[in-house]
Amino acid sequence: MIRAVFDTNVYISAFITPGGKAEEAYLLTVEKKIELYTSIPILTETAGKLKEKFLWSDEQITATIKHIGTVSTVVKPKNRITVLIDEPDNRILECAEHSKADFLVTGDRHLLDLKKYGQTRIIKLAEFLGKIR
């Protein structure tokens, strides 16, 4: 089974844009067609953005984070990575490395520019869906 890590932007798009590509990718994890991995820093950043940028209530955020936690495997990476300037991006790389992910799915240019980190290919959402379909 394909192992994937989603960047926070994928989670946010999945929950604020019903019927979009991000929701389609997320539903693949709900249907157990891919193995999704995440970490506390990724969930914390997702919650923060939903609160600050989209003004979600604490109840909505808690329910969403719990749902992500039930359909994914939450890992605690041991290695600290400092490859990129943006610290949250490093946390995502740590999760991908720790979980031995096949794909890191993101829209973040800094991550996409790496193309690969260890055994993990870093790709855009549309390309990921193309590979899964």
CATH code where residue 59 lies: 3.40.50.1010
- Cβ pair 104, 122 in contact under 8 A: yes
How many separate domains does the chain show?
1
The model's pTM: 0.95
* pLDDT tens-place string over residues 59-111: 999 999 999 999 999 999 999 999 999 999 999 999 999 999 999 999 999 99
- Cβ pair 123, 102 in contact under 8 A: no
Domain housing 81: 3-132
Return the pLDDT at 133.
80
